[in-house]
């Protein structure tokens, strides 16, 4: 009887470990799939900011007329015909923070500084990219959506 109990206990332990491992693998696989989809989409054509909500305030108007071009080499430029703002972009993935899209513009203030963040990738299609940033300081939430032009 004691041997059966030990066998059952060990079986539950092993099953739990296998389920735990499979969940992590699925999460990493989903993260990688999301990143591949974003990288493929973003490098194709020009994009515009269709929505930027910072702390509940719509700030989209700051990006009116800007076309964003994301290059293969990790650079990004936003041009409105007279002004060009340059920066960099990259992606990252981890099981704890999910899929990230990291934007960094060469701006020390203004709207381009505000979107220079590590954005969590919420949704990606070939024509729309939804991003979310939660502030580590006060927990405020910013939402950024790029739409293909």
Q: Domain range spanning residue 99?
A: 30-148
Tokens of 78: 């936003």
Q: Is residue 20 part of a domain?
A: no
pLDDT value at 9 more than 50: no
Query: Which structure tokens are listed for 104?
Result: 């960094």
Residue 76 domain-assigned (yes or no) = yes
Per-residue confidence (pLDDT) for residue 136, from 0 to 100: 84
> Is there a domain that residue 111 lies in?
yes
The greatest distance separating any two alpha carbons of the chain, rounded to the nearest whole angstrom, comes to: 82
State the pLDDT at residue 18.
Answer: 40
- The answer as to whether 55 is a domain residue is yes
| CATH at residue 96 | 2.40.128.270
- Tokens found for residue 50: 């269709």
The share of the chain scoring above pLDDT 70, in percent, equals 80
47 φ, ψ to 5°?
-130, 155
pTM reported for the whole predicted model: 0.80
Residue 57 lies in a domain: yes
Q: How many domains does the chain have?
A: 1
Q: Give the range with max mean pLDDT: 11-15, 27-31, 103-107.
A: 103-107
């Amino acid at each position: 009887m004691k041997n059966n109990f030990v066998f059952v206990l060990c079986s539950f332990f092993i099953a739990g470990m296998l389920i735990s491992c499979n969940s992590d693998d699925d999460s990493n696989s989903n993260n990688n799939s999301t990143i591949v989809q974003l990288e493929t989409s973003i490098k194709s054509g020009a994009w515009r900011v269709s929505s930027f909500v910072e702390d509940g305030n719509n700030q989209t108007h700051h990006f009116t007329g800007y076309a964003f071009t994301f290059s293969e080499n990790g650079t990004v430029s936003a041009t409105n015909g007279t002004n060009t703002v340059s920066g960099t972009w990259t992606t990252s993935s981890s099981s704890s923070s999910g899929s990230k899209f990291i934007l960094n513009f060469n701006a020390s203030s203004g709207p381009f500084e505000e979107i220079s963040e590590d954005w969590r990738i919420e949704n990606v299609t070939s024509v729309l990219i939804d991003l979310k940033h939660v502030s580590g300081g006060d927990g405020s939430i910013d939402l950024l959506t790029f739409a293909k032009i």
